Amino acid sequence: MKKWLDNFKNMRFLSRFADLIGLLKICQNLHFDTSKPFSRPTEYTTTKTIRKQCTNLLLQPATEVRSWLNLFKTIIADGEGVLWIYDKPIPGAIDALNQLKASGKQIYVCTNNSTQTRQQHAFKAERLGLNIRENEVLCTAHATAQYLKDLEFLKYAYVIGAEALTTELDAAGIVLHNDSGPDIMHETVEKFATEFRKEANVGAVIVGYDTHFSFCKLAKAVTYLKNPNCLFLATNVDASSYTGDMVLPGTGSFVAAIEYCTGRKAFVIGKPSANMCTRYIQNGLIQPANTLMIGDNYQTDMPFGHNLGFQTLLVGTGTHTWSDVLHLKKLNGNLAKHLMPDAYIPKLADLNYFLPR
């Protein structure tokens, strides 16, 4: 046991060293992007003006914007901050996406929110007026379950997450897992550790958004992750969200705690990782060259689109604004290329100016 832990601590040091080497390599190449699962054309098929410049569409000739929009057969839109904020639709945004669909484009909603099943996301979108079916929702709880299903995973999964995550696991036939909900320290940590009965054959630790995240959950996760064959999956690594005056920790902060403790890196399903889309691309349902990713966050949505070879459009109704991106560009130039949207529009409703009615 002790010997194992010694190895474990060596691994942590090596992991940090590997991180350093990784960063150096990235810097030598003058960009941060290390994973490009799908190739990106070196010369875009768009006009010169709309090309990794965060071009404000409202300042472009309407004909140019229309011909740019005509390039796309598929539109993938983030939900939160683009179409709605919590349960409130952003005025005109859903109508614009419906218009794009009515004009013949395939639309998808793509969200890192792991607290709802794919069905629940679809219900919500429909309730708010979006013309969408369940298989047009790309979401992390469903994608995580599908990822394990594709691996023919039959072991036990230890889950930090909401009920939606375990529901999606069940639906994918992964039925050996703990329930969601509170797991709190009732007495001393010694008693907790003594009484803890490890589940047999734990093959994955899955970390999603969990408002019951606790010391006990963290301890169980890192204990299972001692086994190097136990998968370590994160639905997403968003840092935070906020409600009113309160900052709420994101799934990424739980993941950071586990990564620090174990010296292991999570395999991330959600944006900016490509995993929510890979199946659709492999099946030919999404063709990167004619796909547009619309998002409100240059740290998740834009690199997600960039890595997959999509073009990207930032809307200013959520996390980041045009000035944020221009500021980033000024500070970092080429270093931030993968974060840089091709185009910008203050709100999705503004697209209505360019759409046939």
Q: Does the annotation list 217 as a binding residue? A: no
Task: Candidates 50-58, 91-99, 282-290, 321-329: pick the segment binding a second copy (CB under 8 A).
Answer: 321-329
Task: Candidates 199-207, 237-245, 273-281, 348-356: pick the segment binding a second copy (CB under 8 A).
Answer: 237-245
Catalytic pick among 6, 19, 33, 78: 78
Q: Does the annotation list 271 as a binding residue? A: yes
Residue with Cβ nearer a second copy (10 or 135): 10
Q: Which of residues 182-221 bind a second copy (CB under 8 A)?
A: 182, 184-185, 188-190, 192-194, 196, 198, 210-215, 218-219
What's the min distance (Å) between Cβ of 248 and a second copy? Answer: 5
Q: Which distant-in-sequence residues (6+ apart) come within 8 Å of 44 by Cβ?
A: 51, 311, 342
Residue from 109, 174, 222, 234 touching a second copy (CB under 8 A): that is 222
Q: DSSP letter at 69?
A: H
CB 139 within 8 A of CB 162: no
Annotated active-site residue 78? The verdict is yes
What's the min distance (Å) between Cβ of 321 and a second copy? Answer: 6
SS (H, E, C) 240-260: EEEECCEEEECHHHHHHHHHH
CA gap 301, 313 in Å, rounded = 9
CB 302 within 8 A of CB 338: yes
DSSP string across 294-357: EES-TTTHHHHHHHHT-EEEEETTSS--HHHHHHHHHHHGGGGGGG--SEEES-GGGGGGGS--
How far apart, in Å, are the Cα atoms of 102 and each of 215, 294, 347, 356?
Answer: 49, 17, 19, 9
243 binds a second copy (CB under 8 A): yes
Q: Which of residues 125-184 bind a second copy (CB under 8 A)?
A: 182, 184
Residue from 29, 70, 103, 332 touching a second copy (CB under 8 A): that is 332
244 binds a second copy (CB under 8 A): yes
How distant is the alpha carbon of residue 22 from its chain centre?
A: 22
Number of residues that bind a second copy (CB under 8 A): 68
261 binds a second copy (CB under 8 A): yes
Q: For residue 96, give the amino acid letter.
A: A
For residue 142, give the H/E element and its range. Answer: helix 140-150
Q: Pick out the residues of the known binding site for substrate.
A: 271
Positions marked active-site: 78
Residues that bind a second copy (CB under 8 A): 1, 5-6, 9-10, 12-14, 17, 20, 23-24, 27, 182, 184-185, 188-190, 192-194, 196, 198, 210-215, 218-219, 222-223, 226, 239-240, 242-250, 252-263, 299, 319-321, 324, 327-328, 331-332, 335
- Give the annotated binding-site residues: 78, 271, 296
